[in-house]
Amino acid sequence: MPRDWLYSIRWKFLFYVLASAGVTAATLYMGNLIFNFLIEFQPFRTPFAYLKNQVGSELIYYFGPALFLVLFFVFSNRTVMRLREVEIALKRIGNGDLQGNSELTRSKDELGQAAAGIHEMSARLSSYLEEITAGLRRIADGHLDGRIAVDSGYGELARVADNINEMADRLSRSIEEERNAEKTKNDLITGVSHDLRTPLTSILGFLEVIENDRYRDEVEMRHYVGIAYEKSQKLKTLIDDLFEYTRINNGLPLELDAIDLVGFLRQLAEEFVPHLDRAGMACRIQTAEDTIFIQADGNLLVRSFENLIANAISYGSQGHYVDIVIATNGREASVQIINYGDPIPARDIPFIFDRFYRGDRSRSSGGTGLGLAIVKSIVEVHGGQVSAASSTKKTVFESRFPLA
């Protein structure tokens, strides 16, 4: 639609006004000439003289405007009717009927150009709506990778198309997350079944030997009982870890207190002295701060750092030291548990916090495959993050918490 069609319409109506005024003036002028000419003749002199004396200029005052209005209506009637047709077409488009009216486009004047523009606009809108509808059908059929082209020239329709694309993205992510959750659930069941079945099979095997008196003497029987007891302890540890992991991830309520990490970890390190002595190791605490406070559940925090320190003792005995580095970084408190044993393979680093991951170094000291997964869950429910890095020189597990 040309931008200046309304401007042209204004000029056309101004022309109608001027033409109506001109014709009215000319008619009045010619009428006056005829009146003055006829009044000279005897048959017309008496009645025309009466009209001139009794009515006079009042006739012009009433006849002139009336004639102007009649002429303006006659001149502009066709244009007004066509404007009315354009208005009806626009209302039909506003009501959702985008088929347009091709008859309006036959004229080559401004209104014809305006009608052609309206017809073209409705055709483009109809085409874009069909494209959006087709995109919705594809989404309904499960094809979430297709996208609707977003053309900013369509205004609100473009925003609708963009929102549909965003909805498809979210739906795709939701389905993918659901699939991952299902896979994670299956992996959990597989991992639990495997880790429960292995010690249980050993327990049942040794108890069967004892039940059927297939041992040589009491010493051998007590040996079998000891193995069964050890496997039972491992089974209990696995069940406890599994229960703890599930409890944490199901949103258990936290009993938050202000905890000084420096004092907290010094005390925890003291409790590990017997374990460190048996492994021929020592614990060193490094910090430049006297106190660093965070809001945390003390019982859960103990469980998290116990797992990390026990892990460092189990896999870092060759390095003779477990270092605990406590620091602040901006609005975060950082705790690094460092050992100097064999490095964790690079391929295992991204997965060591996954439950039941089968990497060589993925399990905590308890051997359940849930130790580091529990650490990750505990840190995250406190609004923190945990990460791991390993090289031939050292292995670092870093936990970060918001400062109190």
Name the stretches of the chain with pLDDT < 50: 1-3, 102, 105, 360-366
Predicted confidence (pLDDT) per residue in 133-176, tens digit: 777 777 777 777 777 777 766 667 777 777 777 888 888 888 88
pLDDT number for residue 286: 94
Task: Give the span between the Cα atoms of 341 and 208, in whole angstroms.
Answer: 40
Handedness of CA 189, 190, 195, 201 (dihedral sign): positive
Radius of gyration of the chain from its Cα atoms, rounded to whole angstroms: 46
pLDDT number for residue 118: 64
What single-letter amino acid sits at 282?
A: A
Q: What is the dihedral of CA 24, 30, 32, 38, to 10 degrees?
A: -150
pLDDT number for residue 28: 72
SS3 per-residue string spanning 178-192: HHHHHHHHHHHHHHH
pLDDT number for residue 362: 42
Collapsed DSSP state (helix, strand, coil) of residue 317:
helix
From start to end of 136-207, where are the E strands?
Answer: none
Phi, psi of 318 (to 5 degrees): -65, -25
pLDDT number for residue 49: 66
Phi, psi of 163 (to 5 degrees): -65, -35
Q: Provide the whole-model pTM.
A: 0.53
List, edge to edge, every strand of the sheet that includes 395-402.
282-287, 321-329, 332-339, 395-402, 385-390
Q: Give me 340's structure tokens.
A: 């100097």
**256-402 CATH, one of 3.30.565.10, 3.30.750.24, 3.90.280.10, 3.40.640.10:** 3.30.565.10
Is 92:70 a contact under the CB 8 Å cutoff? no
Question: 393-404: string of b/e by CB count within 10 Å (b at 16+)?
Answer: ebbbbbbbbeee
Q: Write down the domain spans for the chain.
A: 5-130, 187-249, 256-402
Beta bridge partners of residue 333, listed in sequence order: 328, 401
> Cβ-count burial of 230 within 10 angstroms (0-12 exposed, 13-18 middle, 19+ buried)?
middle
Phi, psi of 329 (to 5 degrees): -140, 100
Q: Mention the CATH class of domain 187-249.
A: mainly alpha
Predicted confidence (pLDDT) per residue in 296-341, tens digit: 999 889 989 998 999 899 888 888 899 999 999 889 999 999 999 8
Collapsed DSSP state (helix, strand, coil) of residue 293:
strand
pLDDT number for residue 46: 67
Long-range contacts of 66-75 (CB under 8 A, 24+ apart): 67/23, 67/24, 67/27, 67/28, 68/20, 68/21, 68/24, 69/20, 71/19, 71/20, 71/23, 71/24, 72/16, 72/17, 72/20, 75/16, 75/19, 75/20
pLDDT number for residue 75: 74
Domains 187-249 and 256-402 share a fold: no
